Amino acid sequence: MSATDAEPNQPDAESNEVEKADFDALDQNAEAGAAPSDVNLEVVLNVNVNLALEVGRTSISVRELLQLNQGSVVELDRLAGEPLDVLINGTLVARGEVVVVNDKYGIRLTDVISPSERIKQFQ
């Protein structure tokens, strides 16, 4: 049987030499001695994220959902006057109170969640 007649996925008898692959370092900044402050953040500064304010939550049955109409009141799990949650892409990052700025709603941040607390949310 010649090499061209060999079955697919079968190694060639002559191709059993192995050589070590040579790759560039993954972290070129570490090799060059670059400090973390030298990292160019410009690439992420224009990335859009979704900011949402959450007044509260509740759980209702499908039957209750179908009975909702104009004027219905849904009770939430928060007390009146409690701070709202500020979510970035679904992750809690702060809490705040509603304010009015130039006839539009806004939020004044009263508590910002530390990065370490945000990481705990993912675990």
Where are the domains positioned within the chain? Answer: 48-123
Global pTM? 0.58
CB 84 within 8 Å of CB 55? yes
Give residue 116's pLDDT.
85
Do residues 76 and 55 make contact, with C-beta atoms less than 8 angstroms apart? yes
The one-character DSSP state at 10 is P
Q: Among candidates 78, 83, 86, 76, which has minimal Cα distance to 52?
A: 86
Sequence-distant (≥ 6) Cβ neighbours of residue 67 within 8 angstroms: none
What's the confidence (pLDDT) of residue 120? 80
Q: Report residues of the chain scoring pLDDT below 70.
A: 1-15, 26-38
* Domain 48-123 of CATH type 2.60.40.60: no
Q: Which residues on adjacent β-strands are paired with residue 10?
A: none
The pLDDT, as a whole number, for residue 8 is 54
Q: What is the pLDDT of residue 23?
A: 74
- Residue 75 neighbours by CB under 8 Å, 6+ apart: 58
Q: State the DSSP H helix or E strand holding residue 105, giving kind and residue range, or none if neither.
A: strand 104-112
Q: 97 and 84 in contact (C-beta within 8 Å)?
A: yes
